[in-house]
Structure 1
Amino acid sequence: MKPTEFTKIKIASNHWRWLVPVGACVIVVCVCVASAWDSWRARNLALAGNGRELASIASALAEQTARSLQEIELILRRTSVTATVPQRRQAPDKSIEGFLQREVADVPQIRELSLFDAAGNRIASSQPAGQPDIDIAPRAYFREIQHAPPGATVISGPLRSLADSQPTFAVAIGIWDASGHFQGAVRALVEDNYFERFYREIDLGRGTLIKLSLDDGTPVVAFSREPDGVRAADLQSAHRAVSGFPLGVTVSRDRQVVLADWHDSFINAIVRTGSISLLVAVLALALTRQLRRQQTLAERLHSSEQRWRAVFENAPIGVVVLRTAGSFIASNPAFQRMVGYSAFELTTRNAIDLVYGEDAAEIKQQVATLMHGNTVTTRFERRFMHRDGSIIWADVSVARVSSAEYRLEHSSQEHEDVLVATLEDVTQRRLSEIERSRLEAQLMQAQKLEALGTFAGGIAHDFNNILGAILGYGERALNASNTQAPEHRYIEQVMNAGNRARSLVERILTFSRSGMVARLPVRLSPIVAETIELLEARLPAGIAIALKLQAGDVVVMGDTTHLHQVVMNLCSNALLAMPHGGTLTVTLEHAYIETAASLTSGPIVAGDYVKLGVADTGAGMSPDLIERIFNPFFTTRKAGEGTGLGLSLVDSIVREYGGAVSVTSAPGQGSRFDVYLPLSTELAHDVVREPAMLPHGDGQVVLVVDDEAALVSLAEELLAELGYEPVGFQSSSAAWEAFAHHPERFDAVMTDQTMPDMSGLQLAAHILRIRPAIPVFLCSGYGTPELEKQAIEAGVRMLLRKPLQQIDIARALNQVLAT
């Protein structure tokens, strides 16, 4: 062996020789340190375990004490309600004593149940007869009862019974009359040994002290197994309040008793420190510590899971956990109620199966963006299908949880993310928003129609004055011309154009609801039948009409001409919608609206209605087109082929009569208009044919007032031809002066309503104050129901609509002056 190698071995031997004792010392030091640490920790654990045990015992004793006292309190309250406090000097009622004895017969914790009057004198007791009189007025608890609120339970501190001087404590309740005056008290003396026996039977071991005390610390019952008691300085205690009572239970134990086992283990640990077996004990202790740590972690995990489960199950909104493919992992009851499926049924379905068909593609896109994008949450509102087929709007918030945060137990993939979604049912809010939008649109439409109607009515008023002169003088020129002359044909064309203009003005007035319309009972079936008969005469080829009048002889309040216009306009539009032929179906039937509803043209109240249905098999309409069809001057025809007032006129008339229109249509599926008109119980009048010859006057003087000079001249000529003596004025002020100077000269007054100086109603009021019986006729080209009402209140005999014809004037004057 070479010297160098020998040197190396020697040096190594020296090293090992020093390393062994050093290693041994290190091991001993380590074992000692570990033993000391474990002993200190074991001491703390013993104290902590004893603290938990004392807390548990204190809780159990407090609960048992509460139950015992609750039974006593129940007896006291029952006695205070049932028993009646007799007068002080009356003999005790035997029935009361019997009642008290029965109440405590099976209650071992009550040694005596007594009834006291307001002065503290005992009236009755559950003890046998012959007991001495007792006065508890000096007792502190009695004074406390007198000042306590009615119904309060008072518990005394430890005391000696006045009857037998035995230790006890009292539980009492005051007795109060209906006026709130103190009448006395019911007191139960609790067996002091009752709680001591119970505490003794628990067998809590040496060094244990149980104390039942008031909230202020006054001891009521105390028990200790040690005959000499336990030193207060060495006690470890746990206190629990007695629920519902001003008491508390304190359980204490001597620390020396608690740590007795620890002292023994500490001595043994010191003995085993020098042995090799201590190393095994240290390893076992380390393993125990590890297991204890794992148990703590498991308990924390379980507690966290319980908290999450409570939130999950009781959340007011739907919560679901999904796999990325859409299958359900879990769902809470709120979501199950939302969609109508049980938890098991949901596990057999895919989340996309519950999505409304049109929204499925958008939700898939949202989830794909969430899974492959940078965001981990997304939010949207979409529709879902309930099990019964109804649609549910939900505010959905979806979060992606990575596999590192959530590991599925039965996942087929090693790394699989999940989706956690919360869904709030916002169906009612959505429906409210839709209804509000629809009502706002209806309000805006009504405001536009009202403004347009006012504008149209104003134009119609001025235009009627112009038409009055054109038609009046045109008619006179036509009658005066030679029928063979070319001028006669020219005048006829002027009259035809004027009549068309008059018809247009009437439609505008009807649309604006400014015309003076007589509301009379009208049979609707003959009007519908007559309109269809007129249509059949000019029916295009390839179109068939199906007429079904199933409403009988129904009557509505309205105007025959207007109702005819409603039927004619609806049927004409239906025919135009079928250029290549089809079937026009017209129905008339009864309908009952149970609750107020909102139809296409506006709201309708509940009641009995007649429903006029007009359906075609034409091209149909889109929803956006249906929203505009009742707008005035809106038309889908080419320029020059329609005015756009047909359906507006229908809507205006139907609204005026208190009805509404419902429109059902779809592109390529035809259209159906259902007109609801309120039924009337009045009888319809038969149509009276007017005589062909105009009635004439007998020289009566008629005052004519109009600010249009042409209309004044025309009225004078027409009245003169009818046998009256006209007196015309262009100024209402001048007419009033003339009438005021000679009121008896005139037999009737015809005045325009709208004049610069004085309106027709104002002039009529002045005239009727002088001659209340004189007939006054009010003429207007822009009449309203309000104007008609004001005219009737002012005493006007008749309201005439411009432009006036000779026959209108003749009939009105003959009707009034001939009577």
Structure 2
Amino acid sequence: MPLEASADTPLWMLGAGGAVLVAVVAVAWNLTLRRKVRTRTQELARSESQFRALTVNSPDTILRLSQDGRILFANAAVSDLLGLDSGQVEGKKLYELGLGQEWAESWQRNIEMVIRTSEALDSEMTSAQDRTFSGRWFPEPDETGRALHALVVWRDVTERKGVEDERRRIETQLYEAQRWESLGVLAGSVAHDFNNHLAAILGQAEVGLMDDEGGSGPRTSLQNIRETARQAADLCRQLSAFSRRGGEGPVVLDVSGLVAEMTGLLAATLPRGVDLQIACDAGLPPVEGDAGQIRQLLLNMMLNAGSMLQGRAGVVLLRANDVELQAQMLALREDSRGLEPGTYIQIEVTDNGPGLDEAGLSQLFQPFFAPDATGRGLGLAVARAIAVAHRGFLHASSSPGEGTTVQVFLPATSRPAAAPEAAPSPLGTGGKVLLVDDDAMVLNATSRLLEKIGMTPITASDGVQGMEKFLIHRDEVVCVILDLNMPYMNGAETLKNLRASGCNCPVIVASGFSQLLITQEMRALGIAAFLEKPYTFEMLARTLERVMATAEA
């Protein structure tokens, strides 16, 4: 019942019944609280059990570390990371685990970093078993949110990293292949245009020399022009080899004889004060390949050896011998995988220069590389392209203070080396040759060479005009010399139309590109020979002599 304490504040007095009610409520509240505590305790126990099951059985290594680097908890997977079980690491500090000072200091820095910043960080390490682990470090806060400990989860990413490394390697190879392809296209295009100009220069010089036989004209100047044009043609072959478009066609070559023939030229490529020593085994089996490209390969190897000396006096040794390469040996190196096992001719060029470190050696086959940073030219990049084109490979080894050795391996052939061809004799048939080329200077020079051979040229500046000239002189044309790259109607289209119009005479394709660009369709239409620009009088005469003899047989 209410009692008056004052006018504004009433007081209540409980009787016996009210006291009982309060007691009942208190008991009920206590029971409810106990139930909640028990339920919450069970939930916490269940959560802890789940957490422990997850951590203990996780394939990832989970560690809890104090600020001073003591391991407070470690799950079973720690043995994969550290080679120790959890009982051996819990309670110990990092430096007590025998991880090494560098590891211990790195881990301690990570612990301090995550506790100080309360931010996660990532790291990576390699175990004693050579496994790669990726770590995620993060802070463990207390009830106030302040970080007191650090947690780290280590995951074995060896396989994943291997896949990623392989993907990056393939991407790098693809990039390199695309880069080389672009350089090759550029080099091939430059070589083609340059070869057209050289064809005109070389042709005019040879005509001038023939016109001046026995006379008092400027023979020396013409001879110099011819020799310079031939050297420039060798440069074009180098560019073509780089683009994998070049070549005069394979012949059987005696390597020992080729080296002996080139001894003077090889020595001349070396700086003054450098002694060239040559040691070729006798009776080496021949190789099959493009003589001009093999010469270029040897020159480039020699030029590289000279540059490796870096201006010092020294010795360069060229050796040639035959070796047997088994499939297992070829599979060891990436550049020789897939090649046929058997006998190879090994040509080795060694210098006694200062040598290269690993970084320098990795760049040795790059265009314009030189150890003194004054690189110029395509160097061993071309040499490697030539070796690959001949089903061989190039290998280099070097170390600081030990000099550099470059080896080329070319497959030997059982075919005998060809005997020298006799000089061509003038045909003197008076037959007419249809000459189709879009370069006016080439038309002029080749026409004059044909006249010296004894043929009558009929010239056309493109395929359309060539067809018109053929239809007019179809019964008189005994041979066609056809350029590949022309406006309006290219060489392939012209050849197709010539055959469709009843042209049965031999067709010679002449181009600044190589015969590798001749399509299967063109071969099916019948090509008697391929003549790579720039060609000499002798090359033109010999080719005509051969195709005409075949046509008459």
Common fold: TM-score over 0.5: yes
State which of 379, 382, 386 in structure 2 corresponds to 1:649. 382
| 1:314 corresponds to | 57
- Label 1:741 to 1:490 Cα distance change in 2 as closer, same or farther (>3 A): closer
Q: Report what 2:80 is aligned to.
A: 337
Kept in 1, the 8 Å contact 2:303–2:379? The answer is no
Cα deviation digits, residues 25-68 of structure 1 (max 9, x gap): xxxx99xx89x979x98xxx9xx9xxxxxxxxxxxxxxxxxxxx
Distance in 2, matches of 1:729 and 1:398, equals 78
Code of the residue aligned with 2:234 in structure 1: it is S
Residue 136 of structure 2, aligned match among 366, 387, 397: 397
Match of 1:369 among 113, 118, 142: 113
Q: CA deviation at 1:300?
A: 8.7
3-state DSSP of counterpart to 2:233:
helix
Distance 2:72 2:352 in 1: 51
Do the aligned partners of 1:322 and 1:329 also contact (CA within 8 Å) in 2?
yes
State the partner residue of 2:539.
Answer: 808
Aligned to 2:121: 379
**2:445 aligned with 1:714:** yes
2:301 is aligned with 1:558: no
Structure 2 vs 1, CA of residues 703 and 37 (structure 1 numbering), >3 Å: closer, same or farther? closer
Equivalent residue letter for 1:566: L
Higher mean alpha-carbon deviation, 452-461 vs 805-814, is at 452-461
1:180 is matched with which residue? none
How far has the Cα of 1:810 moved from its partner? 1.1
The change in CA–CA distance for 1:456 and 1:598 in structure 2 (over 3 A counts) is farther
For these two proteins, the number of residue pairs brought into alignment is 515
TM-score, normalised with respect to structure 1: 0.53
Following superposition, the deviation at residue 515 of structure 1 comes to: 1.9
- AA in 2 matched with 1:656: A
2:3 maps to none
For 2:101 and 2:301, locate their aligned partners in 1 and report how far apart those are by CA, in whole Å. Answer: 37
Q: CA contact under 8 A between 1:574 and 1:584: conserved in structure 2? A: no
Deviation at residue 800 of structure 1 after TM alignment: 0.5
What secondary structure is seen at the aligned counterpart in 2 of 1:490? helix
Q: CA deviation at 1:659?
A: 5.4
Question: How many angstroms apart in 2 are the aligned matches of 1:675 and 1:771?
Answer: 49
Distance 2:143 2:275 in 1: 72
Displacement of 1:734 in angstroms is: 3.7
Q: Is contact 1:326-1:351 (8 Å) kept? A: no
Counterparts in 2 of 1:526 and 1:484: CA distance versus 1, 3 Å:
closer
Aligned match for 2:164, one of 433, 448, 451: 433
Local SS of the residue matching 1:756: coil
Distance in 2, matches of 1:779 and 1:629, equals 35
Q: Which amino acid aligns with 2:113?
A: T
1:513, distance to aligned residue in structure 2 (A): 1.8
Instruction: Flag the 1:538–1:613 CA change in 2: closer, same or farther, 3 A.
Output: closer
Distance in 2, Cα, partners of 1:345 & 1:518: 72
Contact 1:780 1:801 (8 Å CA) reproduced: yes
User: Closer, same or farther in 2 for the Cα pair 1:426/1:624, shift >3 Å?
Assistant: same
Shift in Å, 1:301: 8.4
Q: Distance in 2 between matches of 1:595 and 1:326?
A: 51
Which residue of the other structure, out of 452, 473, 485, is the alignment partner of 1:754? 485
8 Å Cα contact 1:522-1:684 kept in structure 2: no
- By relative contact order (CA 8 Å, sep 6+), the higher-ranking structure is 2
1:767 & 1:308 partners in 2: Cα distance? 85
Would you say 1:743 and 2:480 are equivalent positions? no
Write the distance in 2 (CA, Å) between the matches of 1:807 and 1:333: 83
* Alignment partner of 1:702 is 2:433: yes
How do 1:722-801 residues align onto structure 2 when only pairs under 5 Å count? Answer: 722-771=453-502, 773-787=504-518, 789-801=520-532
Kept after mapping to 2: 8 A contact 1:663/1:673: yes
Provide the residue aligned with 2:205 in structure 1: 474
**In 2, Cα distance between equivalents of 1:538 and 1:456:** 23
1:750 is displaced (CA, Å) by: 1.6
Alignment of 1:63-212 (within 5 A): none
Give aligned-pair identity as a percent.
25
Cα distance, 1:686 vs structure 2: 1.1
Q: CA–CA distance in 2 between the matches of 1:531 and 1:354?
A: 61
State the SS of the aligned residue for 2:480: strand
Instruction: Return the index of the structure with the highest Cα Rg.
Output: 1
CA distance in 1: counterparts of 2:197 and 2:165, whole angstroms:
47
| Gap regions ≥5 residues in structure 2 | 1-18
Give the AA of the match of 2:530.
Answer: L
Matches within 5 A, 1:443-462: 443-462=174-193
Matches within 5 A, 1:492-531: 492-519=223-250
**Alignment RMSD:** 4.8
**Distance in 2 separating the partners of 1:571 and 1:519:** 23
Give 5+ residue unaligned stretches, structure 1.
1-28, 49-292, 406-415
Q: Post-superposition shift, 1:779?
A: 0.7
Q: Is contact 1:379-1:395 (8 Å) kept?
A: no
Partner Cα separation in structure 1 for residue 66 and residue 316 of structure 2: 55
The SS at the match of 1:502 is helix
Shift of 1:337: 2.6
Distance in structure 2 (CA, Å) of the matches to 1:746 and 1:312: 91
Partner of 1:608: 341
For the residue of structure 1 that corresponds to 2:420, the secondary structure is coil
CA offsets 1:218-238 (integer angstroms, 9 cap, x no match): xxxxxxxxxxxxxxxxxxxxx
